[in-house]
Amino acid sequence: MLKSDFHMHTTLSTDGKSDMADMIHSAASMGLQSICFTEHNDYDNPIGETPDFFVVDTDAYYARYCELKNIEPDLDVYFGVELGISQDNHEYFNEYTKKYPFDFIIGSSHYVGNLDPYTKEYYDSFESEEAAHLKYFETELECAKLFDTFDVYGHLDYALRYGPTRDLSFTYKKYADILDELLKTLISKGKGIEINSAGFRKGMIGPNPAESIIKRYKELGGEIITVGSDAHHISELGADFDKAEAVLERCGFKYYTIFKERKPEFISL
């Protein structure tokens, strides 16, 4: 049974809706054993309304974390971050991640060029949905080769979440060459992926990434897989973890992963 949620955002993130203390109390009341906060740092993002748009004040974040991490004695609370990685900010994040005692770091691709797949403009800029997906995966491959600063790649098919047909028309076979290279690159560098349960509540038939991607990651020898709700409100904590666990089992996993001090620990299902 899944007892750890390793992807969540509080009001310290631009789009967070719940206070950190409320998140901790709610997680404990649900019976979770561990959680990791992963506030947003999308440094140098192309759609920023201000220089700090989607960039957490990490000093304030760490101070708040230290203040609250022990308020629920039966819950282990970890300090993490979600980096919005791109081909242009790897040097910044190389230095940034050395400055703080993170337990866990997610690397996520939220932008392709100056567009976010969250927006209609992204898909309108391509001749087809398939071309938009392919460009997104190509961007991720470039980042996977470039970065060493993260532990898992977040919501690996994030672009599908907001596409015209979500994941209904997605098949691994359409993108097998690029996805195989992406997964092999991550595995060779000792990086994991996450199963992000937000897909289930975002109009998809499965999580992010799709079950076929998770299965292929396992077939290629991938071992590190965290589970996160991508919660932005207390109501989303641990959301659809029963479905996520079933996906893990169908893909051949007998465990999931948590991180402490950037080191993976494997927890039996």
* HEC letters along the chain: CCCEECCECCCCCCCCCCCHHHHHHHHHHHCCCEEEEEEEECCCCCCCCCCCCCECCHHHHHHHHHHHCCCCCCCEEEEEEEEECCCCCHHHHHHHCCCCCCCEEEEECCCECCECCCCHHHHHCCCCHHHHHHHHHHHHHHHHHHCCCCCEECCCCHHHHCCCCCCCCCCHHHHHHHHHHHHHHHHHCCCEEEEECHHHHCCCCCCECCHHHHHHHHHCCCCCEEEECCECCHHHCCCCHHHHHHHHHHCCCCEEEEEECCEEEEEEC
Q: Which domain, by its residues, includes 165?
A: 81-268
Domain assignment present for residue 24? The answer is no
Domain assignment present for residue 68? The answer is no
Domain assignment present for residue 72? The answer is no
Domain assignment present for residue 101? The answer is yes
Domain assignment present for residue 19? The answer is no
How many structural domains comprise the chain?
A: 1
Domain assignment present for residue 60? The answer is no
The pLDDT tens digits of the residues spanning 240-261 come to 999 999 999 999 999 999 999 9
* pLDDT confidence band for 138 (50 / 70 / 90): very high
The pLDDT tens digits of the residues spanning 174-220 come to 999 999 999 999 999 999 999 999 999 999 999 999 999 999 999 99
Domain assignment present for residue 243? The answer is yes
The pLDDT tens digits of the residues spanning 45-66 come to 888 778 789 999 999 999 999 9
Which CATH number covers residue 129? 3.20.20.140
Domain assignment present for residue 185? The answer is yes
